[in-house]
Amino acid sequence: MSAIPAETSLRTGAKEVEEVNYLNAEQSLKSWLITGDHKRIAILYLISVSFFFFLGSIAAGLIRYELTSPAGFVLESETYNKVFSAHGIIMVFLFLIVAIPAVLGNFLLPLQVGARDLAFPRLNLLSWYLYMIGGTLIMGGIINGGVDSGWTFYVPYSSMYANSNVAIVLVGIFIAGFSSITTGINFIVTTHKMRAPGMTWFRLPLFVWAMYATSVVIILGTPVVAITLLCVALERMFHFPIFSPELGGDPVLFQHLFWFYSHPAVYIMILPAFGVQSELIANFARKRVFGYHFIAFSTLAIAGLGFLVWGHHMFISSQSMYQSVVFSLITFLVAVPSAIKIFNWTATLYKGNIRMQTPMIYALGFIGLFTIGGLTGLFLGSIGTNIHLTNTYFIVAHFHYVMVGGAVTAFLGGLHFWWPKMTGRMYPETIAKWNAALVFIGFNLTFFPQFIVGFMGMPRRYHYYYFAPEYQPYHIMSSLGASVLALSFIVPGWYLTQSLITGKRASANPWGAHGLEWETASPPPTSNFLQTPIVLDEVYDFDPVAEHEASRSARALEVPHYDAEGTNTKETHES
């Protein structure tokens, strides 16, 4: 791609039709609600997940506010339990699992492989509707009385003892699960069958590899949790005793089935983040990703091994000791592919031509936070140390480092990176940069103290801790951090929305990036490409040396070049 100068026939072609794109092709609300266009569905998803993220964050804020006092001062215990359950259920099932695949994946996968759409556009729309129906049921259950079983729904509490709307929420998750499955099928078929001529497997951007691996995990894991949660719902509604210990059922079997999905679900959340991360690092280091093949294969290795480690959530659940040993061994092995990725991204920076723009700040933050999140996972994967740390705030801190420090950071980075492509507008760079730093500070302040208080023994899901006041300083730190973090999530919501109206118009390729999505207009036309592209060159075909030379001579001669704002200065002057 880079071998040919930016001004190709394709770009000229794009400019001619800049007026008509997927956003303004049809204006009515109906045209959005019955659209088959993967880009429009991605926008629908973006609006929905942002909404659910907002709701989940409110719950998180309430939790943090309440925990500043060891004896609680706002909520009843029952309400507190409902609030943390709502936080977990919304964030896991309605935000994390969906966010990157359904927003960025939906938008980018066909563009990156050079297809006009996903293989099954109507299935894709159905997926959004299923998600919304599931989300509505879940929110209905949460608002109209609440659910207090935690997002893990351990039986027999959830099936017989919980006195809240467990059943309707389970049905909602069941339906939302099928939304995941349809998206997964769509991505797999699109990756296999819809690649443009010349787009071989090893020319695929790593984001596509990540989405492919994610989809494999989705289609293998989600049905299992769907039927398991359905069994719990049946047990609750009709007294079908599937897991009831009183009748000889096995509550630990539920945990096995639940984690058989829910551990891979962690990879559904983090693999797409890895994909985004590879794109960001390559583009802003202006260099082909180091060890492309190793990153691609480590993605598949994680997806595969990820299915063999679910038992590490159950080391103290009374499963057999030998089982625990095997699960621990595989858990240590699954850490290796993640380490490979971290080292490869770091090595990509070597001899690059690094631009410190907002998405890159998120990407570098990701490396730091994910390294901590991943390594603290070893404390939990090692069975001996797991015994003391599991069910404490240590585990809460660990998975927030992976889920927020990893997945959410990557989502924000990716959103900034592809924002001009999605909306045709640039976001304000200066405030976005400062905000990225704020996310990093707020996040660490929120979750680092939780490692310490967890090691000291503070169990998770505790409303009160008046009997252990030594934990309070850490909770106060954490809550302070949470308010910083909340601010840093509100700010992008505000400036990204504002940029839709006042943002600078983005050129087709404002970053000078490589990849088929940058070969078409911003925003792209409804059919993505006016002509089916043929791929002739390798992926991430940057040339840091030449680019460095060019920018040096450019400074000398004052010819157009890409400045730190990511826009072509010459174009900016013209407009």
Q: Please, which residue, 85 or 499, has the CB nearer to another protein? A: 85
The stretch among 49-57, 224-232, 433-441, 482-490 that binds another protein (CB under 8 A) is 224-232
Does residue 553 touch another protein according to CB under 8 A?
A: no
Please work out the total of residues on this chain that contact another protein, with binding judged by CB under 8 A. Answer: 153
Does residue 115 touch another protein according to CB under 8 A?
A: yes
Nearest to 176 by CA among 58, 302, 49, 303: 49
Q: Please, which residue, 72 or 495, has the CB nearer to another protein? A: 72
Site for another protein in 29-88 (CB under 8 A): 77-78, 81
Please select the residue that binds another protein; options are 104, 139, 171, 194, rule is CB under 8 A.
194
Backbone φ and ψ of 459, nearest 5°: -70, 150
x/- binding map, residues 556-575, to another protein, per CB under 8 A? Answer: --------x-----------
Please select the residue that binds another protein; options are 343, 494, 497, 498, rule is CB under 8 A.
343
Does residue 150 touch another protein according to CB under 8 A?
A: yes
Assigned token pair, 239: 């007294």
The stretch among 126-134, 199-207, 245-253, 424-432 that binds another protein (CB under 8 A) is 245-253
DSSP for 118-180, written as a single string: -S-HHHHHHHHHHHHHHHHHHHHHHHTT---STTTT-TTIIIII--SSHHHHHHHHHHHHHHH
Cα separation, 274 vs 406, in Å, equals 8
Cα separation, 24 vs 204, in Å, equals 30
Query: Least CB distance from residue 493 to another protein, whole Å?
Result: 28
Please select the residue that binds another protein; options are 65, 129, 157, 448, rule is CB under 8 A.
157
Does residue 336 touch another protein according to CB under 8 A?
A: yes
Does residue 239 touch another protein according to CB under 8 A?
A: yes
Does residue 166 touch another protein according to CB under 8 A?
A: no
Please select the residue that binds another protein; options are 438, 456, 484, 486, rule is CB under 8 A.
456
- Radius of gyration over every alpha carbon of the chain, rounded to an integer in angstroms: 24
Q: Please, which residue, 62 or 496, has the CB nearer to another protein? A: 62
Query: Least CB distance from residue 245 to another protein, whole Å?
Result: 4
The stretch among 40-48, 243-251, 422-430, 432-440 that binds another protein (CB under 8 A) is 243-251
Q: Please, which residue, 50 or 244, has the CB nearer to another protein? A: 244
DSSP state of 382: S
| DSSP-assigned beta bridge partners for residue 179 | none
The stretch among 48-56, 94-102, 398-406, 531-539 that binds another protein (CB under 8 A) is 531-539
Nearest to 416 by CA among 276, 516, 287, 568: 276
Q: How many residues does the structure list for the chain?
A: 575
Please select the residue that binds another protein; options are 101, 105, 141, 221, rule is CB under 8 A.
221
Query: Least CB distance from residue 52 to another protein, whole Å?
Result: 23
Sign of the C-alpha dihedral computed for residues 459, 462, 467 and 472 taken in this order: positive
Q: Within 13 Å and on the Cβ side, how many CA atoms surround 188?
A: 14
Q: Please, which residue, 401 or 427, has the CB nearer to another protein? A: 401
Measured at the CA of 22, the angle between CA 16 and CA 25, to 5 degrees, comes to 80
Does residue 452 touch another protein according to CB under 8 A?
A: yes
Cα separation, 127 vs 105, in Å, equals 13
Assigned token pair, 53: 């993220």
Cα separation, 377 vs 372, in Å, equals 8
| DSSP-assigned beta bridge partners for residue 562 | 568
Does residue 120 touch another protein according to CB under 8 A?
A: yes
Q: Which residues contact 26 (CB under 8 A, 6 or more apart)?
A: none
Q: Please, which residue, 127 or 499, has the CB nearer to another protein? A: 127
Please select the residue that binds another protein; options are 117, 310, 413, 567, rule is CB under 8 A.
117
Q: Please, which residue, 141 or 221, has the CB nearer to another protein? A: 221
Query: Least CB distance from residue 140 to another protein, whole Å?
Result: 22
Assigned token pair, 3: 């071998």
| DSSP-assigned beta bridge partners for residue 459 | 392
Q: Collapsing DSSP states into helix, strand and coil, what is residue 392?
A: strand
Query: Least CB distance from residue 14 to another protein, whole Å?
Result: 12
Q: Please, which residue, 179 or 499, has the CB nearer to another protein? A: 179
Cα separation, 352 vs 543, in Å, equals 9
Site for another protein in 276-335 (CB under 8 A): 285-294, 315-318, 321, 324-325, 328-329, 332-333, 335
Nearest to 49 by CA among 88, 95, 93: 95
Q: Please, which residue, 501 or 556, has the CB nearer to another protein? A: 556
Site for another protein in 350-409 (CB under 8 A): 350-356, 364, 367-368, 371-372, 375-376, 378-379, 381-388, 390-392
Does residue 340 touch another protein according to CB under 8 A?
A: yes
Contact 278, 206 (CB under 8 A): yes
